[in-house]
Amino acid sequence: MMRKPCRPLRYMVMLVSCLFVQALFTTIGCANSSVQYDALLKSEYAQLIRNERVDYAALEADSESARAATERTVYLTFDDGPSIHTEKILDILADEQIPATFFVLGERVERAPDTVSRIIEEGHALGNHSYNHRYEELYSSFGGFWEQLLETEALIHSQTLTSPTLVRAPGGTFTNFDAFYYQLLSTAGYTVVDWNVDSGDSKRKGVTAQEIIDNIKRSVLHERAVVLLHDGPGHSATVEALPEIIAYYREQGYTFAALDDRQPRPVQFRIGSSKWEREPLTFAQYKHWMKTMTDHQADKGDRTAQGGQAERVEQGPYRTSSISTHIPSKGPEELAALASSEAQTDANKSWKEDAQASPALQITVNGLSLSLESGQYRFQRDRFAVPFSFVSEYLSGRLPGYGEGGNLLLQTFSRQAVFEPEANLIIVDGLNGFKQHYISDVFIEDGEVYVGLRMAAEWLGYTITGFTIGGENHQVILQKNIIALPFEV
């Protein structure tokens, strides 16, 4: 006579069956969600590929409600700083008790970090204006714009522990941005801001203060006036005109405010025919970029919730160890030949000036402290250049290889780069074919290729989370990013 299974065994069978059914429905649900998500992306892509913004109708509605609900407000915005003029502008704003917005360049943040801190400390808004303002690098592909955005954001965060979400495109978005730029930046949590009042202070060299004031007074009096001004080098006339500009808007009954990404629709130009010959994104590229943007926004949200992960070096002890690296001069004979070329001789001059006089450079990579002694790295205008062999060995975990004509090879998990020092060129073979990137801080000296530390770190997926310049040692802290890299697409 067959015995019935015992109750525990029956319960176990039932439990396993239930778990199997649950897993099956979960799998089906995930598959359906994935299909729905792809369908949504395809619908967006069909609109974007026609250069039509996905969010424009909703933004127009927000704009109408904003015009009806807000009082007359003027937003003074300053581009291309910080510079010596920024300090004078901050003095005027402090005297007048007026907030403003500063869209800063990363390369100038490196030169005037204390001014950036002052902007935040005195209650003004800070925005991202790219790293170097070079149009061709920014608008030849979205990847170029994204790379500079991240680099400047890292610089600002390392100095202020803030990560601005306001972005202004150099030259404005009209004919520079397409619908993909807007969509991707919005997905990543950024607010792009143009202007509706142009002071004309950058139309040509030698613009006078009176011309700037006259341009302002001839402009339309918008309910929300976003005024374009500049605080970069060569804009002393803007400083001179600023008190009268402030007085004029006060006479017109305006209140002054700093831009805020939580406000209704920002002032943005309509999309025009692009003056750049960009290859349109494929759907696969768009899908990959959307994941990168979503991950980036989530990462920033986590960092904000935790109160910020980066810590300025000045606010805490710098971790050191006894590890010291000796970087030998190595490379094929072609490198020595390249180093004697006229172009390379000119490129080396500024970097060689302080080579022997500089203190040691301590670089902390994910908690591991490394040291380059004076003469093993180059330093000029607050920028570091380190041997290519150091970058390859300690930032990528691979030794460099050499190609034809003295070119250098560097590999990561998903891409390969060929460095051509003579042409200041990096050719990247990534997930979606070849791309070329022109760089300025690569040179050859005594048979060794030197590369800019910041450029190399960003390319390999690191963020500079702290630094000090001067004193007994220069110090730089690098942390590996967890988000997708700009060159991956």
- Answer yes or no: are the C-beta atoms of 126 and 153 closer than 8 Å: no
**Position 21, amino acid:** V
Q: What does the block give as tokens for 173?
A: 């978005």
Q: What does the block give as tokens for 471?
A: 């004193």
E strand residue ranges, 73-161:
73-81, 101-104, 125-128
- Cα 117 to its chain centre, rounded Å, is 18
Q: What does the block give as tokens for 439?
A: 């760089």
Identify the CA nearest to 377 among candidates 352, 412, 403, 411.
352
- 326 belongs to the catalytic site: no
Identify the CA nearest to 431 among candidates 417, 444, 414.
414
- Answer yes or no: are the C-beta atoms of 52 and 180 closer than 8 Å: no
**Residue 251 burial (10 A CB sphere; 0-12, 13-18, 19+):** exposed
Find the catalytic residue in 129, 133, 157, 230: 230
**Position 446, amino acid:** D
Cα separation values, 80 from 84, 127, 170, 215, 299, Å: 12, 11, 9, 20, 28
DSSP state of 387: E
Cα separation values, 132 from 160, 177, 195, 290, 450, Å: 20, 17, 20, 25, 20
**Position 302, amino acid:** D
Is cis: bond before 387, omega within 30 of 0?
no
DSSP codes, 64-95: HHHHHH---EEEEEEEEE-SHHHHHHHHHHHH
H or E segment to which residue 448 belongs: strand 448-452
Cα separation values, 282 from 42, 46, 293, Å: 11, 11, 16
Strand 462-468: give its sheet, edge to edge: 368-372, 360-365, 473-480, 462-468
Q: Is 198 helix (H, G, I), strand (E, B) or coil?
A: strand
Identify the CA nearest to 156 among candidates 131, 178, 173.
131
Q: What value does the CA radius of gyration of the chain take, rounded to a whole number of Å?
A: 26
Distance from C-alpha of 3 to C-alpha of 7, rounded to nearest angstrom: 12
- 157 belongs to the catalytic site: no
Crossing angle for the helix pair 113-121 and 84-96, to the nearest 10 degrees = 10
**Would you name the residues annotated as active-site residues?**
79, 230
